[in-house]
Structure formats: C-alpha cells, structure tokens
Amino acid sequence: MQSLDEQINTIERALGECMIEHALVIVRPWLNELGLDNPYEDAYRTIRARYHDLFVKWLNVDEPGMADELGKLTGDTYQLVDALYADLRLKRGLSPRMHGFSPDSPQSVIQYFSNCIRMTPEDFQWLRSAMNAENTGMALLAITALTRNLRECFSQDAILTLIDGFDSSNDIVADQCLANVMTLLIHYDIRMDFFPQIQDAFAAALNEMNDGANHAVEVLCALVKSSKANWLEEYATGERAMMDLPVEMQKLINATGIKNDLTTFYNWVPKSEAEYMSGLVAILPQTGLYDILIRGNDVYERALTITYLTIGNRDLMWDFPKVGEEWYVNILRRGANEPADYINYGHCMLLQGDRMMAMEFYRQARQMYKTAKEFYNVFRPDRRVLIEHGVPVEFVYMLEDNLLN
C-alpha cells in the first residue's frame, strides 16, 4: 500500500492530466478514515457525478467549452484533495494543531506560519498589515515560513495574500513576496493551469508595478543565483562578516530584526534547501512562469541565460548559443581556463553552424587532457543534447573519430 506522500504525489500526477476518477479512487479511503460525519462527502459525490456526466457527454458530442469545464472540475477536485489532505495530516498527527501565535515573538511567528495548515482570514489580515508596518521584520519571517509551508500544503488564499504583498510600502517585503510567489509558481507549475485566479492576480499585480515585468525578471535572476549562494550559512557560522555580504542580504538581515540571533534562523532552514532551489532552477525553462516572463523576449532570454551560466548551469546555453558564445569568449580571455570551457565554447559554435571553429576548440580541449578517455568522459554526455538541437548524428561521431588522437 502506498504511503500518504506517495498517494498525494500520485494524485498530483493524475490531476495534472485531468484524470479525476483516478484521484477520487485514492481519496475514497481518506473519507472513510475521517469518519461518516466528515464534511466532504457531498463535495466528493458532486464532483464524481459531474465528472461522470461530462465523460458521457464527451462520448456523444464534442461541444465547445467542454475542455474548459473539465479544467474547472479538475481545479475543484484539487481543492477537495487539499482540504482532505490537510485534515488527514491533522488526524494522523503529521501536522500539529495550531492555536494562534504571538506577533511579538519571532519563534512563535516562524512556528505558526511553518506548520499551520488551517489558517484563518485573520491570519492573512495580520500578515497584510505586517507587510506595511514600520518594522517589517515579523512579516519577512512569516513570508519565508509560510512559503515553506505552502510547498507541502497548497493554499490559494495564502498565495493570493503573498501576491497582495507585491505593493508593500517596503521594497524588501515586496521583493520577498515576489520571489516567493515565483518559487511557488514553479513548484506548482502543473496544477497552476487549474487555478486561474492565482494567474490573473499575479498578472494584475505585475501590471500595477512600475516596470513590473522587467523587475520580476530581475528578481527571478536573483532567485536563480541564490540557488548557488551560501551567504546565510557563511554569516551564521562566522565565516563571513556582515560587511562582506551583498548589500541586498545585509538589508534583509537588518530588516528581520534578528541580526543577533541569525544562527537560530539559519538552523531552522534545512540544509536540503539548496538542493530544492537547484531543482527549481532545473525545471524553470519548462514552466508556465518562464513562458509568461521570459520566452520570446530577447533581452530577458539573454539576462536569464547569462544568470544560468554564472551559476555553472548550461541548460539555457543550448537554446541560446550566441549568448553562450559571448559568455565563454569572456571566460577564455581571462586565462587559466578549464578544458570544459573550450568544449562548451565549441558546442556554442557548433550549434551556430560553425563546424571548423567548433573543431578547433574541441582540439584545444583534447590537448589539455592527458588521455582521450578523460576528454570523452566530458564530451560524450553532451552528444544527445547536440543531436536534439539539430547537429547531425553522423557529424558528431565523425568529430569524435577525429579527436581520438
């Protein structure tokens, strides 16, 4: 039998493909476990009946708008599953039952917004007020904690509250809300199609900002860079002084009001956070957020590609080899280069059709390795990507033959 985590992951995949019946079969035992007096039976039966009627209708006639109706029904099913999942976690003791928090205590705010999965309208109203208070330290702690909570327990109301924070009177709070909402949009990319209210609110909030799209791309690039940064760790462990941190990080630390207790804050953030952010960076180019903010805009595509290369990630280089070429030209001009830099420069030239230049830089890389095996260990993993981007298979193998010696 699947664990609860495995079940919810299966449901996410099923609903991503609008396989509503598959999700309902999994949650039926959840309803039984919650007891006969659970408040979800009517919603469950209604969704099942609506899905059956829609399925029968689809077999008999192809009416316009049926796909939209299926999408809305899928969104309703997501919300039922989210509510059931929250109650089941409480019943099994997987999430604590929270009974408010002390707004003057950093530990209390962190604890509450990290763990509470049944937040009240009053909680969101407090957060909206805190975002515009004179001292926004508590709001920053709550925003960070809430975002981590939402990664496990989705809440449309909570995300809409964070979107409201885009117009905070405090720029640090506004940017933190923007960064965290974009993180959640990437995290929940598959299900976002079924929550148009979030998409509309996000688009409207950007439109109301001065130069909103451009600023969002800047924040997104900073978010990508943060996946490789360890400033918080270095400061909390005493390896780097406050004055040596980036200005943005200094502002954030000072704004939280916990400068003298940052080690506690650091220890609260799991060390797996860096792996999580790296995972988001890896899937970003395939997400709806990328389509909304980046795709088709030459300036934004260039900025994000350079950001990816800055952190050592080549995912976007393959689609924008001209930008990659410019990047590696600058790298090679600085001297003391690695053989992989020559290989990557060769890839960029090959993708642009300049086979002779590509071969020249591959040869330089080959000469820097002691053996052909060392060279091919680096080069061969890229063969598939080169072929997928239009380089003929026969040329790739001919190229390898020529570089054997």
Q: Judge residue 260's burial from the number of C-beta atoms within 10 Å of its C-beta, 0-12 exposed, 13-18 middle, 19 or more buried.
A: exposed
State the first-to-last Cα distance of the chain, in angstroms, to the nearest integer: 55
CATH number for the segment(s) 317-402: 1.25.40
Contacts of 134 (CB under 8 A, 6+ apart): none
Q: How far apart are CA 26 and CA 28, in angstroms?
A: 6
Sequence-ordered strand ranges (E) for 295-367: none
- Domain ranges in the chain are 4-92, 106-279, 317-402
What is residue 195's three-state secondary structure? coil
Q: What is the pLDDT of residue 275?
A: 83
What angle, 0 to 180 degrees and rounded to 10, lies between the N-to-C axes of helices 321-333 and 339-351? 150
Q: How far apart are CA 180 and CA 186, in angstroms?
A: 10
Residues listed for the chain: 405
What is residue 392's three-state secondary structure? coil
Reported pTM: 0.85
Q: 335 and 314 in contact (C-beta within 8 Å)?
A: no
Q: What is the pLDDT of residue 262?
A: 46
Of 190, 186, 217, nearest to 282 by C-alpha is 186
- CA distances (Å), origin 328, targets 256, 285, 305, 351, 357: 39, 21, 12, 14, 14
Contacts of 172 (CB under 8 A, 6+ apart): 136, 140, 251, 252, 255
**DSSP conformation class of 287:** S
Amino acid at 1: M
Q: 330 and 367 in contact (C-beta within 8 Å)?
A: no
CA atoms within 13 A on the CB side of 384: 1
Q: 253 and 138 in contact (C-beta within 8 Å)?
A: no
Q: What is the pLDDT of residue 212?
A: 86
Q: What is the pLDDT of residue 136?
A: 80
User: b/e map of 330-363 (b: 16 or more CB within 10 Å)?
Assistant: ebeeeeebebebbbbbbbbbbbeeeeebbbebbe
Q: What is the pLDDT along the chain (405 residues), one digit of tens a residue?
A: 789 999 999 999 999 999 999 999 999 999 999 998 899 999 999 999 999 999 888 777 777 788 899 999 999 999 999 999 999 999 999 999 999 999 988 889 989 999 999 999 999 999 999 999 887 888 988 998 999 999 999 999 999 999 999 999 988 899 989 999 999 999 999 999 999 999 999 999 999 988 889 999 999 998 898 787 655 555 455 555 555 555 555 555 565 554 444 444 445 455 667 788 889 999 999 999 999 999 999 999 999 999 999 989 999 999 999 999 999 999 999 886 789 999 999 999 999 999 999 999 999 999 999 888 999 999 999 999 999 999 999 998 888 888 876
- CA distances (Å), origin 47, targets 88, 90, 261, 364: 20, 24, 49, 63
- CA distances (Å), origin 217, targets 59, 183, 285, 401: 44, 13, 13, 43
Structure tokens at 360: 């020249």
Q: What is the pLDDT of residue 250?
A: 59
Q: 362 and 403 in contact (C-beta within 8 Å)?
A: yes
Of 211, 107, 113, 218, nearest to 162 by C-alpha is 113
